[in-house]
């Protein structure tokens, strides 16, 4: 058993990834706008033609508000316990690392089979964490 607060570290790691992606998204949008690859009207509804790198950056940021939302909920649950298991802490770190890998693949090669494999791994981690937390709270 380890101290429950330790789960905040993988959570903050994921938060830092999200903040980095906000900055990257802003830099990419500004670059596309300044090079006239993006019309000013695009920013009203985020619809229309945008360069691939802008869309990729936006989608990578949006991904941080899908599966990770469940992870953050689990972090809040785990923080209510004084101690957590090493397994829970490892699962939290593995999920956080999987999101970094997913974002890296998306922003670099965007090789879909690798990205899908990493995403599936993250879902698997969330499933294991779900079962573990259900068992923990029902004991």
Domains of the chain as residue ranges with CATH: 2-138 (1.20.120.550)
**pLDDT bucket at 48, cuts 50 / 70 / 90:** confident
> What is the per-residue pLDDT across 91-106, written as a single tens digit (0 to 9) for each?
999 999 999 999 999 9
Residues 42-65, mean pLDDT to the nearest whole number: 94
pLDDT surpassing 90 at residue 17: yes
pLDDT surpassing 90 at residue 87: yes
Residues 15-30, mean pLDDT to the nearest whole number: 98
Give pLDDT, residue 99: 98
By C-alpha distance, which of 24, 113, 97, 111 is closest to 60? 24
In 6-85, where does DSSP find H-type helix?
A: 8-34, 42-45, 52-63, 67-79
pLDDT surpassing 90 at residue 14: yes
């Amino acid at each position: 058993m380890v101290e429950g607060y330790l789960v905040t570290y993988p959570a903050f790691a994921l938060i830092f990834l999200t903040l980095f992606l906000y900055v990257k998204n802003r830099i990419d949008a500004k670059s596309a706008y300044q090079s006239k690859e993006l019309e000013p009207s695009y920013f009203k509804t985020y619809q229309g033609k945008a360069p691939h790198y802008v869309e990729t950056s936006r989608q990578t940021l949006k991904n941080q508000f899908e599966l990770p939302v469940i992870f953050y909920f689990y972090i809040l649950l785990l923080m209510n316990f004084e101690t957590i298991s090493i397994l829970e802490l490892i699962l939290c770190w593995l999920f956080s690392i999987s999101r970094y890998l997913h974002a890296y693949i998306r922003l670099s090669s965007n090789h879909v089979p690798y990205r899908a494999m990493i995403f599936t791994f993250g879902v698997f981690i969330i499933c294991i964490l779900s079962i573990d937390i259900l068992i923990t709270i029902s004991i």
